[in-house]
Amino acid sequence: MKKFLRRKSTIAFAMALPLILIIVLLVLYPALYSIHMATLNKSMEHFVGLENFAFLFTRETFWMVVRQSVVFAVSAVVFKALIGFCVAHFVHNIPVKGQRKWRGMLLVPWVIPPAMSTLVWLWLFDPSYSAFNWTFEHIGMAPVNWLGSPNWARFAVILVNVWVGAPFFMIMYLAALKSVPEQLYEAAAIDGANWWQKLWYITLPMMRNIIAITVLFSLIVTFANFDIVRVLTSGGPVDQTHVFATWAFKVGIEGSDLPLGAAVSLFMFPILAVAAIFILRDISRRGTET
Amino acid sequence: MVTRKFTRRRFLKTTAAASAAVGLTSYVRTSHAAGKLELGFWDHWVPGANDVLTKLCNEWAAKEKVEIKIDYIPSQGQKNLLTIAAEAQAKAGHDMLALPTWWPADKAKDLEPVDDVMKVLFANNGAVSPLIEYLGRVEGRWIAIPATPGSQIKGPCGRIDLLKQHAGLDVSKMYPAGAAPDNALSESWTWDAFLAAAEKCHKAGVPFGIGLGQTADSVDSMGALFGSFGAELIDAKGNITVKSDAVKQVLEYMKKLVPVLPPDVFAWDDASNNKWLISGKGALIMNPPSAWAVAKRDNPKVAEQLWTFPAPRGPKGRFQPYLPYFWGIWKFSQNKAAAKSLMHHISERSAVEKMVAASQGYDIPAFAKLNDFKTWADEGPPKGTLYHYPPKPGQILSIAGFPAPPKIAAQIYTQAIMTKLVAKCTQGGESIDKAIGWAASELQGFMRV
């Protein structure tokens, strides 16, 4: 027994046990419970297997939510990555002395709780009192129905998500940029490489893993986004900005159909799992390259 | 756990008058009615309204020696719905909880029947509208009692000056303070008259602000309109009846009304219409007097011109959008008898009168004998602005989704099928038939059990 307790693996397990317990309690149990819930009928009285999923597949609104979630997540992540990449380069080129101030300022949108910052955006887009429209009117432009027109409403929720999330990409890419050895650029310059060639053949390959990880992480977070859509549009007009999480809340909590709400939110899982498998496989393959 | 007993003797003493008449004591059987009571009430938006309810509960608790703990749960962010869902799942939490409109029926199997309490309340406070029975009585048993705090009617609240000036509509003459409505004028207050007035006000640059979003105010307005045209989406037996002439008639009507409303009404939430009126941009909204109450503080000049009056009449009658709250006792409560005693205490006329006064007249009691408090006659400026806010004979209290079975109607309400239907065939440019076809498919999906 003494020997068993002295084993490195036993000590390691004991030290990891609190974390394992937390994961079991806060991640595994809720996940299994929501899977269980998704297999119950509306009144949660009997097991219906995959009927809730089959039912969802027959609903026009559900497929609209699937399309919107994909458009929302993919476009937001692409813009966040592009903006983050560009801004990271700008910040990287600022002299070290003033860089910290810029980094701090640029991180502000990311550190403010999104529900709060989205409220400010709501006032900017407000149907009747939009600050943007007030400005437009003063420069002779027609007001925009920001949240009342489906396309503008989609644009608005994506824009706010990009605003909130781009600093995360920026800081990650900045860290990656700082880890690229300067000698590589010097060698490339000696070989006569222009800025594009340096970017394409040095910067991007050196940042590839961090780009993949941030994209995956952001994709998961953006797919599961709730607060921005909830505060800004509540899924409207006519459900045309709903994403999985807001639709699940609408159906599950407001509509008191917890099993269907659970089924909607679980639908995200296979989509994200497929994305995660591909991205992580790519990272791991490159990690083993010699 | 508190050990003081809420004894049968004490309970008998405190409720003697009412119980002697109608047998209230029948639900105090044992000394289990003792100890502690946890209460989850709706967090009232009117400053001070919670304090009055707390005071009433404390008075009762001191008299009955019951320890109480009150949580005021806001409806912002649907915190109250989350609490109800969580407590129903966990079978633990408050003993007594404020339940919004559709939730008594939804949680019926988890709620303690309160027929005995209702029997006393009927005897003391009079009858309730059929809508209250539809929402609070399941399979012949009352499973919650109507609560005063939060219960509201969402009739029109209009600008006396603008309606008179631009639409030739004298609303304070049509529904005068302290007196019965002017027969001729109120009879001519129909949805057609509403449309004509809306067109004139739009032309004058002060459009009516009727929300067509997916939150309660928008849904309630449309519910009353659909109801007054006899446009049912699903009938009482659960048959889909959306493909009807009445529904088409409403949609044709809305095709005329929408162009004279602000273009962004499809994005409105429950605050948008208030802001519209308070800022002076519009001549009329459909809302409880919260907009007026806020205007008193933020824009007194506008408040002085506001008048609350009943909704227009349609072919099937004058349907008033009504959104009642309930109080229910969970079956898992350990102190049901005490909870029932408290229900009785805070539903007494004197208690209700205090709550109505504290809410500045916003709260509407469900019982017929409790709609004559002086608060509604006295509140102002302008004095009597709320006189016609509580329901009067001849009005039909309605809710979107009625008369479908409550669990289905709740889906119609929550998913805002009526406002979406209107949006589809106005903003969305779809034909009425196509929009109705979409609605039929959505309604089919609500039949799940």
What is the four-CA torsion angle of A193, A199, A204, A210, rounded to 10 degrees?
A: 130
Q: Return the closest-CA partner of residue B100 out of B141, B153, B41.
A: B41
At A252, list the tokens: 């599950």
A120 vs A268, residue with greater confidence? A120
The predicted-structure confidence for B284-294, as pLDDT tens digits, reads as follows 999 999 999 99
- Whether the pLDDT of residue B25 is over 50: the answer is no
Instruction: Indicate the pairing of strand B96-99 with strand B317-329.
Output: antiparallel
Half-sphere exposure of B22 (CA within 13 A, CB side): 15
To test the contact with chain B by mutation, choose from A122, A227, A254, A260 the residue with the greatest count of B C-beta atoms within 10 A, namely: A254
Overall average pLDDT of the B245-264 stretch: 96
Report how far Cα A255 is from the mean position of its chain's Cα atoms. 26
Separation of alpha carbons B220 and B402, rounded Å: 11
pLDDT at A288 over 80: no
DSSP structural state of residue B190 = B
Q: Of B222, B226, B206, which is closest to residue B266 (Cα–Cα)?
A: B222
pLDDT over threshold 70, residue B23? no
Chain centroid to CA A26: how far?
A: 21
pLDDT higher than 60, residue A119: yes
Structure tokens at A39: 């297999």
Are B405 and B136 a contacting pair, CB within 8 Å? no
Reduced to 3 states (helix: H, G, I; strand: E, B; else coil), residue A40 is: strand
User: Which is more confident, B26 or A112?
Assistant: A112
For residue B36, the 8-state DSSP code is: E
Q: What is the pLDDT of residue B26?
A: 42
Q: How many other CB atoms sit within 10 Å of the CB of residue A143?
A: 15
Query: What is the arithmetic mean of pLDDT over A26-47?
Result: 92
Judged against a pLDDT cut of 90, whether residue B387 lies above it is answered with yes
DSSP labels, B332-384: T-S-HHHHHHHHHHTTSHHHHHHHHHHTTT----SBGGGS--HHHHH-TTTTT
> What tokens were used for B223?
């519910």
- Residue A275's pLDDT band (cuts 50, 70, 90): confident
| B343: its two tokens | 């229900």
| Spans of all domains in chain A | 1-38, 53-288
Helix or strand run (H / E) with residue B197: helix B191-203
Tens-place pLDDT, residues A73-103? 999 999 999 999 999 999 998 888 888 888 8
Write the DSSP symbol of residue B43.
Answer: -
| Burial class of residue A282 (count of CB atoms within 10 Å of its CB; 0-12, 13-18, 19+) | middle
A234 contacts in chain B (CB < 8 Å): 213-215, 269
Q: Provide, as residue numbers in chain B, all residues whose Cβ is less than 8 Å from the Cβ of A127.
A: 262, 264-265, 267-268, 272
Note whether B329 and B52 are within 8 A (CB). Answer: no
Partners of residue A156 in chain B, C-beta under 8 Å: none
pLDDT (tens digit, 9 = 90+) per residue, B315-336? 999 999 999 999 999 999 999 9
pLDDT at residue number A263 = 95
Residue of B nearest to A252 (CA): B85
Is it true that the peptide bond before B263 is cis, omega within 30 degrees of 0? Answer: no
Give φ, ψ of B241 to 5 degrees.
-125, 20
- Please work out, in degrees rounded to the nearest 5, the angle formed at the alpha carbon of residue B102 by the alpha carbons of B326 and A226: 115
Query: Whole-angstrom Cα distance, residue B280 to residue A211?
Result: 52
Parallel/antiparallel/unpaired status of strands B317-329 and B145-153: antiparallel
**What fold is seen in the domain A53-288?**
MetI-like fold (1.10.3720)
Classify strands B96-99 and B36-42 as parallel, antiparallel or unpaired.
parallel
**Whether residue B259 has a cis bond before it, omega within 30° of 0:** no
Q: Does an H or E element contain A140, and which?
A: none
Question: What is the model's pTM?
Answer: 0.87
DSSP B314-337: ETTEEEEEEEEEEEEEBTT-S-HH
Q: Do B449 and A235 touch (CB under 8 A)?
A: no
**Residue B99 to residues B43, B93, B117, B390, B407: CA-CA distances in angstroms?**
12, 14, 17, 21, 15
Q: Which two tokens stand for residue A274?
A: 């497929």
Most distant CA atoms of chain A, gap in Å? 83
Give the model's pLDDT for residue B18.
46
Which chain A positions have a beta carbon within 8 Å of B76's beta carbon? none
Beta-carbon separation of A41 and B448 below 8 A: yes
pLDDT at position B155 over 80: yes
Where is B284: in which H helix or E strand?
strand B284-286
Identify residue B390 by its one-letter amino acid code.
P
Going by C-alpha positions, the residue among A224, A252, A273, A262 that lies closest to residue A114 is: A224
Decide if A164 touches B, using CB distance below 8 A.
no
Residue range B181-202: mean pLDDT, rounded: 96
Task: Give the burial class of A199: count Cβ atoms within 10 A of its Cβ; 0-12 exposed, 13-18 middle, 19 or more buried.
Answer: middle
Three-state secondary structure call for residue A69: helix
Check A238 against B423: CB less than 8 A apart: yes
pLDDT value at position A267?
Answer: 87
pLDDT the model gives residue A289: 58
Which two three-digit tokens encode residue B253? 């009507």
Taking residues B277-300, report their average pLDDT.
93
Instruction: Kindly list the residues from chain A whose CB atom is less than 8 angstroms away from the CB atom of residue B424.
Output: 238
Interface touch B449/A257, C-beta < 8 Å: no
Taken in order of first residue, the domains within chain B and their CATH numbers are 8-151+324-372 (3.40.190.10), 153-322+377-445 (3.40.190.10)
Strands B317-329 and B395-398: parallel
Please say if the pLDDT value at position A12 is more than 80.
yes
pLDDT band at B105, cuts 50/70/90? very high
Judged by a CB distance cut-off of 8 A, whether residue B423 touches chain A is yes
CB A256 to CB B266 under 8 A?
no
pLDDT at B15 over 50: no
DSSP state of B109: G
Point out the least confidently predicted range of B12-16, B151-155, B415-419: B12-16
DSSP B209: B
Query: What pLDDT was estimated at residue A6?
Result: 83
Say which of B279, B281, B445 has its CB closest to residue A59: B445
- Whether residue B81 lies within 8 A of chain A, CB to CB, comes out as yes
Coil, strand or helix at B166: helix
pLDDT at B3: 38
Q: What's the mean pLDDT in B20-32?
A: 43
Q: Distance of CA A290 to CAs A174, A177, A271, B38, Å? A: 26, 22, 32, 66
User: CB neighbours (10 Å) of residue A102?
Assistant: 14
Evaluate the CA torsion angle B215, B220, B221, B226 in order and state its sign: positive
Find chain B residues with C-beta within 8 A of A256's C-beta.
81, 85, 102-103, 106, 410, 414
Q: What is the mean pLDDT of residues A136-141?
A: 90
**How buried is residue B368: exposed, middle or buried, by Cβ count under 10 Å (0-12/13-18/19+)?**
middle
Q: How many CB pairs under 8 A join A and B?
A: 93
Contact B78 A253 (CB under 8 A): yes
Contact A250, B413 (CB under 8 A): no
Q: Is the pLDDT of residue B31 over 70?
A: no
Tens digits of residue pLDDT in B42-84 = 999 998 999 999 999 999 999 999 999 999 999 988 899 999 9
Residue A145 to residue B264, Cβ atoms within 8 A? yes
| Chain B touched by A61 (CB under 8 Å) | yes
**CA–CA distance, B338 with B67 (Å, rounded to integer):** 10
Length of chain B: 449
Tokens of A220: 């998961």
Mean pLDDT (chain B) is 91
C-alpha A110/C-alpha A163 separation (Å) is: 8
| pLDDT tens readout for residues A189-246 | 999 999 899 999 999 999 988 998 899 889 988 988 999 999 999 998 999 999 999 9
pLDDT at residue B30 is higher than 50: no
Residue-wise pLDDT for A161-194, tens only, equals 999 999 999 999 999 999 999 999 999 999 999 9
What is the CB neighbour count within 10 angstroms for residue B429? 9
